[in-house]
Chain A
Amino acid sequence: MKTVKSFVLVAPLALIALAPAAAQEFSKELIEKGRYLATASDCVACHTNHDGGKPMAGGLPMASPVGTIMSTNITPSKEFGIGSYSEAQFSDAVRKGIRADGANLYPAMPYVSYSNMKDEDIHALYAYFMQGVEPVDEKAMETKLPFPMNIRASMIGWNMLFRPNETHKDDPTQSAEWNRGKYLAEGAAHCSTCHTPRGIFMQEQKSLNLTGGQVGPWYAPDITNDKVHGIGTWSQEDLVTYLKTGKLDNKAQAAGSMAEAISYSLQHLTDADLNAIATYVRSVPSTKAGETTGATRFDKGTADNDMAAFRGRDYADGLKGDHAGAQIFAANCASCHGYNAQGTKDGYYPSLFHNAATAGDNSINVISAILNGVDRHTEAGHVFMPPFGDQVNAVVQLNNVEVASLSNYLLAQYGNDKLKVTPEDVQVIREGGPKSNMIQLARIGLAGGAAAVAFLLAGFIWYRARRKKPSVLSE
């Protein structure tokens, strides 16, 4: 049944296919509209190697639990990019995850979200990619995944199950702003790609929309309007400020993939669109059961320090015993965040209490912020917290025991004191997040010839988390 439905849906799209790009000149207005949509869709974040690569020329390695995926060249280069794509082929790639040669894309490409995009917007995007992007005649590195993930056809079954095949339809009971917001948030801006938890086949669990999910070494938190677990305490202005700057004083700041989304995409959107997104996101209720009262992740902890335990004594002694976490905090964090973790008066360096990073429902972002730092470009400048992992530019390379000890101090003193971090937890984040055992399962499945094979093959992660070290500059 599903197979049939799929084909039925594909057919009308094929009919509206337009002539290849070379045959026509697109208007400047259309190209600019496409440029804006490409920004909203954050194409550049993945399709550019930010360590010296050319825009949209691909070659960015992206870690996934099943192996490293390389982004592709989507410049209009005829040989190495998408210059010979017809609009229909382009549309299929963006909305269905199918390449011009018929092969399936891995869902590292968020076509599940883009599938809601309207034909007219696909048309504008096409115009932009054909005539608004500089062609780069360079071959991007190819993705080489281990068997059986290297069989792209494995995505067919997955797509049948999990790819929506409908473009956005306005809900007449809601405002135009809300509808615009939903269109962007669920589509181009692909919020749910990270903020919605994944099911057993790594599909978005739409019933738990925006209630939080792990993204490689980071956790994209609950952004429903739940007043305890979500962002229900944020005003419209709060959320718009955050989307524009990546920061909300005494509440939260964007790191990891969200920092990229803000740097490359969200801060460039119009105020009207950011307000539309905020209006929609603030209307999404939580479907997750949980306490309905209590402190949010934005208002836990107070200013304090534990330095009397070791000040004036030998540093090596301070690293031993009960106050190791406090000592590591003093030596590595307090220089910017303050000896009471109070941040700077101007708020540039955030306090570590009243901070979502230390007070979330899990410890992923505490560990990841320590190991990976923060790297965000906005109009206010380049926000950069150096990493403390095994990067060559780590200010200090902290080991797993030290990071665990520091995390536990931060959680207990300034954040969610119910959480505990082990060195093993740190190692998982150091390696880029949990690994999937899907390859093993799939291989076993193939050997057994089980019907589940197709689904297991299909179960794929398309996390945008990068293996690249975001804060390293090489000479």
Chain B
Amino acid sequence: MTRQSKDPNGTLMMSRRGILLGGATLFAGTLAAALCPTLSLAAVDAGTQGQFMKLSNLLIQHQLSPAVGARIADTASGEYKKLPQMLDAIIAIAEKKNAVQVEDFFADIPDGELKDFAHWVISAWYSGCSSEKRNATVFTYEEALTFKTTSDVVTIPSYGISGPNLWTRPNLPLSAPMPRF
């Protein structure tokens, strides 16, 4: 037993948080499915989508688009036959650690299938794609998180950043704050 689970307050807190978080992401997933008719035809049911968003929010502490999440979950269901179980397993690890951020529980995910899947989910959100390869499935371009990490300076290529010839800007040091996203 871990130290947290012995702490009744901690357990209670975790449960409440887990319920709230789960409910919110479940709702977001369902909403995305309802809002996007093309997405609701996807193989993934709303429950799995909700779990996928819940896991995504545990792995990544940024605002995540439910519509993009539905696209990733759809592909995940094709590539990972045991997707629902894998989602549940990693979420359970996080909840067990009373995790509020990925750093709190990532090391506890066992190497192998589960860890690879967790990396794949993160990679999908950051790159917007299922892989680095030519035949990768693309979930998003504009909302790929890689661009958010540099959005204060760098263009998302093909999208303009300023009025004509008004893009001169200072050379920000690495100590400058990370954009909030």
Contact = CB atoms under 8 A, between A and B. Distances in A.
Any A–B CB pair closer than 8 Å: yes
Interface of A: 305-309, 311-312, 321-323, 334-336, 338-339, 344-346, 348-349, 381
B39 A335 contact: no
A336 B162 CA distance: 9
B114 interface: no
A305 B66 CA distance: 12
Contacts of A381: 164
A194 B134 CA distance: 55
Contact of A338 (B37, B38, B140, B159): B159
Interface string B125-161: 0001100000001111111000000000000101111
B121 interface: no
Interface string B27-52: 00000000011110000000000000
Interface residues of B, number: 27
Contacts of A346: 162-163, 166
B141 A311 contact: yes
28 contacts: A307-B140, A307-B143, A308-B36, A308-B39, A308-B67, A308-B71, A309-B36, A309-B38, A309-B67, A311-B141, A312-B138, A312-B140, A312-B141, A322-B37, A322-B38, A335-B160, A336-B160, A338-B159, A339-B142, A339-B143, A339-B156, A339-B159, A345-B162, A346-B162, A346-B166, A348-B162, A348-B166, A349-B163
B35 to A, nearest CB: 9
A346 B37 CA distance: 36
A306 B141 CA distance: 12
A208 to B, nearest CB: 37
B139 A308 contact: yes
Contacts of B160: 335-336, 344, 349
Given A305-B142, A312-B137, A335 B38 contact: no
Contacts of A322: 37-38
Nearest to A348: B163
B85 interface: no
Nearest to A339: B142
A306 B37 CA distance: 12
A308 B161 contact: no
Contacts of B67: 306, 308-309
Given A306-B67, A308-B70, A308-B140, 7 more contacts: A307-B142, A311-B128, A311-B138, A321-B38, A322-B38, A339-B159, A344-B163
A311 B70 CA distance: 13
A307 B39 CA distance: 12
A344 B138 contact: no
Nearest to A343: B160
B38 A323 contact: yes
A345 B141 contact: no
A451 to B, nearest CB: 58
A457 to B, nearest CB: 49
A315 to B, nearest CB: 12
A307 B38 CA distance: 12
A330 B95 CA distance: 39
B68 interface: yes
Contacts of A305: 142
Contacts of A349: 160, 163
B65 interface: yes
A190 B167 CA distance: 39
A311 B156 CA distance: 15
B129 to A, nearest CB: 8
Contacts of B161: 344-345
Contacts of B166: 346, 348
A307 B68 CA distance: 9
Contacts of B129: 312
Counting from the closest, the 8 A-B pairs by CB-CB distance are: A348-B163, A312-B138, A308-B67, A339-B142, A336-B160, A346-B162, A308-B68, A344-B162
A312 B162 contact: no
Given A322-B37, A322-B38, A323-B38, A311 B140 contact: yes
A98 to B, nearest CB: 46
Contacts of A312: 71, 129, 137-141
A308 B138 contact: no
Contacts of A345: 161-162
